[in-house]
Amino acid sequence: MISPARKIACNVLHRVEAEGAYASDLLHTELSARIKPEDAALATEITMGVLRWRRLLDFLIDQHLKKPVAKLDLPVAIALRIGLYQLRFLQRIPPSAAVNESVELVKIARKTSAATLVNAVLRRAANEARVPAEKFVPQATPLVERLSILHSHPTWLVERWLKRLGEQQTIALLEANNRAPRLTCALHDLKRQEEIFAALKHAGLRIEPGNILQSAFAVSGGSPTRTESFRSGAISIQDEASQTVPLLLDVQTSDRVLDLCAAPGGKTPPLVRAAGTNGFIIATDRHAHRLRAMREQFKRLQLTRVRLVELDAAHPLPFGVEFNRILVDAPCSGTGTLARHPEIRWRLQPEQLKEFHALQISLLRSALNQLAPRGRLVYSTCSMEPEENEQVVEEALRGTSRFRRNASNDFAHGNLKDQLVPAVAPESLFDSHGYFRTTPGPLETDGFFAAIITKC
């Protein structure tokens, strides 16, 4: 017998590799109400753990193979990774269970001929499970390669971070990327906080306050999507830095607001609520299926005052009006979300940063052309890379005097300040150049960047 948790983890990991799917989306589908909470927790732990630590796991497995694990049949490689992850990282799992169930996984995948190999490799690995991984890396290994192996990241990404951030900050970032992120929610009506928190606690969830926003909170001990508070639209799951970005627009009642690249729609609701009943809100995306998913999300949140438009915002926009507020939450590499979406680190290639840069320039320029005089635009990404952040803003604004990039002290009041927790000053969220930044680790958020631009 194979536990439901390991079956689910194996299936999700296979689809992530074979189909290019995202683990978080697949887990959300697989972990229905019929799955026991303890099985759901273990399936999530194994899936995300294997994805985060894949390079180190493969490096250690390769010590016992004649050919690299990456060249094995995919079901065999996944079974080995699942087994070794449990042996090295999950102290409460008996080694015999980790080994035996991995052997069974290759059998049900019709790779019975590999069962002996999986059994032998994992039994040897079980004997070494308490030996620090550092012991297996040759002393002469260059620093960038050593860090890449031990912290399980692509070499090219670690190399660029070392050049820009230095060794200490790079290690801190690598460590943050390998920690399970806080599961953070947005509370949509702060006046109902006591009532909603009581209901969530009654459902068995543990609650911690937000590190940035009064309306943010972290949950553990279960899935908030299984609660009535989620189903009724009182809360949503959203990273705290992501929740903060829409507040930078400081939307006022009756504003005309444009949310470009809006899917999956997490940043749109606060814009709609801030604009009020007299506001005019348009949210766009280039993919019809993502707009359909947004429409379902907005039904849950009981948001009706928003128009959804399918368009490619990299081209001139078709609107006959200018907007007081525009949010450009641009598609990006996602290097600020490697803890939450660890598969990104294995898919992203360095040449893609140039492709994203070109797309982001087009998006920002299209949006700037639609901004009303004295209007405000926020350009944001969940990337840590300069090519997608400040370099995009600087290039888009070069040679024009019609726009001004705002300094952090311009936002000491308004929506942002009013919603921060008392311990956080607005200016602490901006760097010395006036850009909004969060880094994985210090505030337990994803890595976000935002620039605030006004039209003269």
Nearest C-alpha neighbor of 120 from the set 73, 205, 63: 63
Residue 343 structure tokens:
């598969």
Task: Evaluate the omega torsion of the peptide bond into residue 264 and state whether it is cis, within 30 degrees of 0.
Answer: yes
Other residues' Cβ atoms within 10 Å of the Cβ of residue 405: 18
Which 8-state DSSP code applies to residue 263?
Answer: T
Residue 193's pLDDT is: 96
Residue 162 structure tokens:
């070392």
Lookup result for tokens 């009642």: 253
Amino acid making up residue 211:
N
Q: What is the Cα–Cα distance from 80 to 102, expressed in whole angstroms? A: 7
Pairing of strands 216-220, 280-285: unpaired
Q: What is the Cα–Cα distance from 217 to 219, expressed in whole angstroms? A: 7
Give 302's contacts (C-beta < 8 A, 6+ positions apart).
Answer: 233
Q: Give kind and range of the element (H or E) at residue 198.
A: helix 193-202
Residue 32's pLDDT is: 80
Q: Which pLDDT tens digits describe the chain residue by residue (456 residues)?
A: 799 999 999 999 999 999 999 999 999 999 887 899 899 999 999 999 999 999 999 999 999 999 999 999 999 999 999 999 999 999 999 999 999 999 999 999 999 999 999 999 999 999 999 999 999 999 999 999 999 999 999 999 999 999 999 999 999 999 999 999 999 999 999 999 999 999 999 999 999 999 999 999 999 998 899 899 999 999 999 999 999 999 999 999 999 999 999 999 999 999 999 999 999 999 999 999 999 999 999 999 999 999 999 999 999 999 999 999 999 999 999 999 999 999 999 999 999 999 999 999 999 999 999 999 999 999 999 999 999 999 999 999 998 889 998 865 555 446 788 899 999 988 899 999 999 999 998 899 999 999 999 999
Residue 287's pLDDT is: 95
Q: Mind giving me the DSSP string for 125-164?
A: HHHTTTS-GGGGS-TTS-HHHHHHHHTT--HHHHHHHHHH
Q: What is the Cα–Cα distance from 180 to 17, expressed in whole angstroms? A: 20
Could you report the per-residue pLDDT of 398-419, keeping only the tens digit for each?
A: 988 899 988 655 554 467 888 9
Three-state SS at 264: coil
Three-state SS at 117: helix
Q: What is the Cα–Cα distance from 345 to 177, expressed in whole angstroms? A: 10
Q: What is the Cα–Cα distance from 28 to 25, expressed in whole angstroms? A: 5
Other residues' Cβ atoms within 10 Å of the Cβ of residue 29: 9
Give 47's contacts (C-beta < 8 A, 6+ positions apart).
Answer: 8, 9, 12, 13, 23, 27
Q: Mind giving me the DSSP string for 315-381?
A: S----SS-EEEEEEE-----GGGTTTSTTHHHH--THHHHHHHHHHHHHHHHHHTTEEEEEEEEEEE
Pairing of strands 280-285, 307-310: parallel
Contact by Cβ (8 Å): 218, 207 = yes
Nearest C-alpha neighbor of 37 from the set 206, 217, 210: 206
Longest Cα–Cα distance of the chain, Å, equals 71
Three-state SS at 455: strand
Q: What is the Cα–Cα distance from 201 to 183, expressed in whole angstroms? A: 15
CA angle 397/402/408 to nearest 5° reads: 65
Residue 388 structure tokens:
């997608």
CA angle 84/87/88 to nearest 5° reads: 85
Alpha carbon dihedral 207, 428, 153, 349, in 10-degree steps, equals 120
Residue 408's pLDDT is: 53
Q: Give kind and range of the element (H or E) at residue 290.
A: helix 288-300
Contact by Cβ (8 Å): 243, 216 = yes
Could you report the per-residue pLDDT of 280-294, keeping only the tens digit for each?
A: 999 999 999 999 999
